[in-house]
Amino acid sequence: MAFALPPLPYAYDALEPYIDSTTMNIHHTKHHNTYVTNVNNVLAGENGGSLKGLSLSAIQKEVVSLPDSIKTAVRNSGGGHWNHSFFWSVMGKTGSIAEAPSGDLKSSIESTFGSLDEMQKKFNTAAATRFGSGWAWLSVNADGQLFISSTPNQDNPLMEGIVDQPGTPILGLDVWEHAYYLKYQNRRPEYIASWWKTVDFDVIAKNYTAAKSGGLPAFDTPLA
């Protein structure tokens, strides 16, 4: 088997006016699809056999131990596939999503950061100050505590031994220019602020519950 480009869980224009439909279409069908194609090429090669049968999430955890001949390709393209699949899953159409956390997630955010506003400020700073291309994350560490981090390129917190702060992501934001440049040009902070209007906190809560019990985010990825 090989990985396939997952369909978006909503229409390309569903996140308007915050993320425009043209960006979503190009981002999904061109950028994300390229990562899928490239990681499948690695898996089909002579050194990709050890990864066959692993889930996409499991592959992230294996990056640090891969041979040099495929490590960079899997890190970039396998990471790109995972990150984008996750990214689509945490967003939804305004009016049909939970726009604020509740329950255990709300309590954990408040105990860790003081308030939702403070968490968002720290997250926004991580996203805005990520030099060049990369991601901002809200994750759960091995002790079950929330933390905010950012990673370069297509790295993610599942890549233990690669990233400075490993953990299980429950929320992530793409700050590569292709994610926002058509609408926001160089105004990354404006994109970040607008993006919060698309975040579905019900999904984040499910991810948090899974992460606390040692599980992974609640989105499906085919096995390789």
The torsion defined by the Cα of 116, 145, 103 and 220, in degrees rounded to 10, comes to 100
pLDDT digits over 150-206, tens only? 999 999 999 999 999 999 999 999 999 999 999 999 999 999 999 999 999 999 999
Concatenated DSSP letters of 87-154: HHHTB--TTSS--S--HHHHHHHHHHHSSHHHHHHHHHHHHHT--SSEEEEEEE-TTS-EEEEEEETT
* CA 100 – CA 102 distance, rounded (Å): 7
In the chain, where the domains are located: 20-224
174 labeled part of a ligand binding site: yes
81 is in an annotated binding site: no
Residue 94 has pLDDT above 90, yes or no: no
Q: What is the pTM of this model?
A: 0.96
pLDDT at 50 over 90: no
- 85 with 6: CB under 8 angstroms? yes
Consult the annotation and say whether 31 binds a ligand: no
pLDDT tens-digit series, residues 136-155: 999 999 999 999 999 999 99
Measured from the Cβ of residue 95, the count of other Cβ atoms closer than 10 Å reads 6
- Residue 211 has, within 13 A of its CA and on its CB side, a CA count of 30
Q: DSSP secondary structure string, 9-32?
A: SS-TTTTTTTS-HHHHHHIIIIII
- Is 84 annotated to bind a ligand? Reply is yes
Q: Which residue has the tokens 């090669």?
A: 45
CATH T-level fold of 20-224: minor pseudopilin epsh fold (3.55.40)
